[in-house]
Structure 1
Amino acid sequence: MPATVVSPPDPTIGAMLIGSILGAVAYGFTASQGYMYYTRSLKEPLPIRLFVFATWLFDTANTAFMTHMQYHYFLNNYANPAAFMTPVWSLVAMVLLTAVVSFMVRAMFIRSVYQMSYQNPVPAIILGLLSSFNLVCGVIATVKFLGIEDGDFQNIKVFVYLDFVSAIAADISVAAALLVYLRSHKGASVKTQSMLQKLQMYIIGTGSLTVVIAVVALITFAAMPHKFVFLTPFMIWSKFYTNALLSSLNTAKRANDAVVSVSLNNVTTPRYPGQLAGSNNTQSGQITTGPEITIQRITESDEDLKASYPLGKGL
């Protein structure tokens, strides 16, 4: 009986494995941020905590599907390169979950824009429409992925482009709106101004990361649509959305923490009631001179700082 000739696998399938490893590492950072949030936000309203938990849960499911995808291709279909030509259901589910996670994270930041604009609905509506369009593109791309056979990506290229481009446009718009409103607000204290500046840096950092990842995925898919290189940035994409939300929540939580200041002033105070400071009485123990310790609890409650909280003033 003639031996069966197995064609060699595409050399870029390693990008899928690299994406899984990087995705697992990124999920570790996300889990750490989530632990920090839930141990420090016991007083947060329940709807907020549930919404954040749902976002983290979707990202966790995304990571589980990523693991299943690796098992399907590299173990169940070992020495079967043809299996890579058809997307497994877990890969298709990752496309949908990434769209859902990005939509939920943007919704939180759009609410912050709404609060910082003094509840002006126009900016929030515009940003919401952009984000909703990206969600629709993600759902359509998911459906189109289900119909792929023999690695034919020609019929879905337009929808993949729309998914990436709409995500880039929505992320840039939301980040720009947050920066504009944060810069227009002036805190009442140095502490407030400092924390607003830190929030701006977090927005620039986390927002630029999601945009850069989307741009890299878009370029690699456009240049090599029949290769697997674009999967490396795509598989870590949702992790950076979730991490952007949790890290900004933790930063804003620290911004709202109380500041305790201790002032030490050398004053002359009587040891016993009724003794007057500066008395000429020389009896031992009646007059003492020492530091007076004053503890003052200062709480940053500026409306500008509250509005900068990505969840606004509460649901």
Structure 2
Amino acid sequence: MAAPPVALPNVTLSYGPMLIGVFVNMILYGVLLTQILTYYTVYKADALWMRVFVGFLFFVETANTALDMYMMYQPLILEYGQKPVFFPDAFMTEPLIIVLVSMPIQLFFAWRIYQLTKSVWVPILIVLLGLASFAGGVWTTVMIRVLRKFAKKPLLHAPALLWFLTSCVADVLITISLVLTLSKKKTGFSATDSVVDKIIRATIQTGLITAVFSIMDVICFMVFPHYAINFVWDLALSKLYTNCLLSTLNARHKLNSASHASTYQHQRNFVMSPIRSGSNGKQESFIDTAPGPTLTFEQRPRDLEYGVHMTKVVERVEDPISQHHGRGNYAQ
């Protein structure tokens, strides 16, 4: 008589969320490849350190994708049918890689905020939060190696909360700071202000994505301590950080084109508007345009803001006919 089949363990709430997280991670890696290609093709004039930084992120993310694939191959193929007692061996690399990506990006945005505001207080706070998040990620990595078992996952609460919460607060602070700073850069000209609005919308969208994933990671981690549901959000975090940074860098070319187009149209309409009747009875236009309030997005060797370069411009129009008759001049 044949032996009855052995019931396989239920891994739905352990390896299931991890597998979904790896799927999302790999999809975002495909998006990242496109972003990387665009960056190195279009922005060849960027500073060497910036191009090296992007290369470092690409190397780390490629390693992360390979390790995540092996992380799921081990329990689902090599250890098929075994009860999910231990974390996969490659899982301990996950928090370390996430903070190796998130912390430098947060420091980059802190530096960018400093360049825009020339104030050190908010950037220093972001730096401290980023370093605390890095410490929490390293602590979590060590604890995973020590604990190893799914059943001991609640013991990861302290290091994981230090990692998640400080990173989440840093992301929200970066988003709020950039939005408030850029809002103050508006000039009153609809052409340039529309470009500022586009940057603000992009800042909110990219900043809140990482914040939402971090918050959901914390919530699922606390509400379901004995299950792996939080890994749906956790395993995609590093790719989100890198894609958000690359999307910000790659948007400069498009914003630059939009800024020049809108500025050209504004100046064209401005030149055609001041019409006066000359002494010979014909309508004449007199304009003297000097540098004035506008917003430009340029790739300059010393463009410290990497895509957000503010230039003050003053537009002035003088009517020599009205000046001749003692009526002075007018300014737009």
State whether TM-score is above 0.5: yes
1:161 alignment counterpart: 161
2:34 alignment counterpart: 32
Cα distance between partner residues in 2 of 1:237 and 1:154: 21
Cα distance between partner residues in 1 of 2:143 and 2:221: 16
Opposite residue 306 of structure 2, the aligned amino acid is Y
1:18 alignment counterpart: 20
Correspondence 1:117-266 to 2 at 5 A: 117-118=117-118, 120-151=119-150, 152-187=152-187, 190-257=190-257, 259=260
1:73-115 Cα offsets, whole Å, 9 max, x none, are 111111112xx32223321111100011111211221111011
Instruction: Report the alpha carbon displacement of residue 45 of structure 1 after superposing the two structures with TM.
Output: 1.3
1:277 alignment counterpart: none
- The answer on 1:74 being equivalent to 2:76 is yes
Cα distance between partner residues in 2 of 1:110 and 1:311: 14
Cα distance between partner residues in 1 of 2:96 and 2:307: 24
Cα distance between partner residues in 1 of 2:31 and 2:39: 12
The question of whether the paired residues in 1 share the 8 Å contact of 2:252 and 2:297 is answered with no
**Gap change, CA 1:48 and 1:308, over 3 Å in 2:** closer
- For these two proteins, the number of residue pairs brought into alignment is 276
SS in 2 for 1:155: helix
Instruction: Report the alpha carbon displacement of residue 174 of structure 1 after superposing the two structures with TM.
Output: 1.2
Cα distance between partner residues in 2 of 1:130 and 1:221: 20
SS in 1 for 2:260: strand
**Gap change, CA 1:194 and 1:97, over 3 Å in 2:** same
The question of whether the paired residues in 1 share the 8 Å contact of 2:113 and 2:178 is answered with yes
Of 56, 59, 69, the match for 1:57: 59
Instruction: Report the alpha carbon displacement of residue 157 of structure 1 after superposing the two structures with TM.
Output: 1.5
Cα distance between partner residues in 2 of 1:178 and 1:308: 12
1:114 alignment counterpart: 114
CA RMSD after TM alignment: 3.0
Instruction: Report the alpha carbon displacement of residue 9 of structure 1 after superposing the two structures with TM.
Output: 2.6
Cα distance between partner residues in 1 of 2:31 and 2:202: 15
1:41 alignment counterpart: 43
Output the TM-score relative to the length of structure 2: 0.75
Cα distance between partner residues in 1 of 2:32 and 2:297: 29
The structure showing larger relative contact order (alpha-carbon pairs under 8 Å, at least 6 residues apart) is 1
**Structure 2 unmatched ranges of 5 or more:** 269-293, 311-332
Instruction: Report the alpha carbon displacement of residue 164 of structure 1 after superposing the two structures with TM.
Output: 1.3
Cα distance between partner residues in 2 of 1:86 and 1:23: 22
**Gap change, CA 1:187 and 1:108, over 3 Å in 2:** farther
Output the TM-score relative to the length of structure 1: 0.79
Cα distance between partner residues in 1 of 2:297 and 2:42: 20
The question of whether the paired residues in 2 share the 8 Å contact of 1:182 and 1:200 is answered with yes
**Gap change, CA 1:45 and 1:302, over 3 Å in 2:** closer
The question of whether the paired residues in 1 share the 8 Å contact of 2:116 and 2:181 is answered with yes
SS in 1 for 2:154: coil
